Amino acid sequence: MVNGTVIPLEVRDLNAWYGTRQVLKNVSLAVRPNEILGVIGPAGGGKTTMLTCLNRTLELAGGRSEGIVRIEGESVDKVDPNELRRRVAMVLPLPVGLPMSIYDNVAFAPRMVGVTNRRELDEIVERCLTQAALWDEVKDRLDQLGTRLSGGQQQRLTLARALSTEPEVLCLDEFSIAIDPVTTMRIEAVLVELKKQISIVLVTNLLQQARRIADRTAFMLLGSVIEEAPTEELFEFPKDKRTHDYVNGKFG
């Protein structure tokens, strides 16, 4: 609890392994309400693994973890994993339009939890596609295959799908890796708008992206969080020399 408000997502002393290789070492992070937490760092630093601990997909990938992950104060181990994954939405690096219509892509998750009323589904689909800044481009062809959209559109479709479960926390793992700069900027604007309602974890390999939209930023290196600070502070006055070197492009 910070100032009486529940912390949406909290990670404390988290360790994770693939086999005998330790990929996370005592990671502690917290996402505050209505903020974007940027996570930066070179490849292989454990950023993606950290995300897989948040929605418990690490175990599916054959890893294991120890430590505390809490969603709204509740340990994620006590939440049903499928329920957890609806509360902690994930946007993966590569855009994935599922091989069904655009409409069905967005209605997929609501249908799984039993929403069958057509008008209700229509509303969800329109809301999510609008939030993801895709509605205007596809509203006349919702029955077209999601796989036929361009890469940038598919990534916004992925985002719309992630929002369809009304998550409390939205995680994005290097979402801009396969899409064009214009779409990237549009999604960034969407995220800034979205944080009024939910909390966002933005793992990114683009330093400038974190700098543009993250409220606070954490720097991860070799499985540890080296430093976590308000974004400007981390970039301008890093306390750790390794952070300084990384944000100034000396390695990475």
Partner 1 sequence: MSAVPTPRRKQRRVASAASRYTEKAIEALIYLCGLSAIAFIVAIFVFIGREGLGFLVTHLVEMLTSTDWSPTQDPPVFGIVALLAGTFWCVGLSLVFSVPVGLGAAVFLSEFAPPRLREGLKVIVELLAAIPSVVWGFVGVMIINPGLQAMGARIGLNGLNGAILLALMTLPLLVSLGEDALRAVPETYRQAAIAMGATRWEMVWRVLLPAARRGLLVAVLLGVGRCVGETMAVLMATGHSINIPKGPFDPVRTITATIAAELGETVRGDAHYQALFALGVLLFLITMAVNFVADFALRGRRTR
Give the interface with partner 1 as residue ranges (CB under 8 A): 55, 57, 60, 82-86, 89-90, 92, 94, 96, 98-100, 108-109, 112-113, 147, 158, 161-162, 164-165
- The nearer residue to partner 1, 2 or 113, going by C-beta atoms, is 113
Asked if 121 and 135 touch (Cβ cutoff 8 Å), the reply is no
- The nearer residue to partner 1, 83 or 180, going by C-beta atoms, is 83
- The nearer residue to partner 1, 95 or 238, going by C-beta atoms, is 95
Shortest Cβ 69–partner 1 spacing (Å)? 16
Q: What is the DSSP letter of 139?
A: T
| Helices and strands of the chain, counted as H and E runs | 10, 10
Cα torsion angle, 144, 145, 146, 151, sign:
negative
Shortest Cβ 59–partner 1 spacing (Å)? 11
36 beta partners: 200
Q: What is the DSSP letter of 101?
A: B
Shortest Cβ 86–partner 1 spacing (Å)? 4
Shortest Cβ 180–partner 1 spacing (Å)? 19
Shortest Cβ 98–partner 1 spacing (Å)? 6
Distance of alpha carbon 214 from alpha carbon 232, whole angstroms: 9
- The nearer residue to partner 1, 74 or 232, going by C-beta atoms, is 74
- The nearer residue to partner 1, 65 or 158, going by C-beta atoms, is 158
Cα-flanking dihedrals φ and ψ of residue 226, to 5°?
-80, -40
Closest CA to 56 of 96, 8, 16: 16
Asked if 63 and 10 touch (Cβ cutoff 8 Å), the reply is no
- The nearer residue to partner 1, 129 or 226, going by C-beta atoms, is 129
Shortest Cβ 99–partner 1 spacing (Å)? 5
Cα-flanking dihedrals φ and ψ of residue 63, to 5°?
-105, 175
Asked if 160 and 95 touch (Cβ cutoff 8 Å), the reply is no
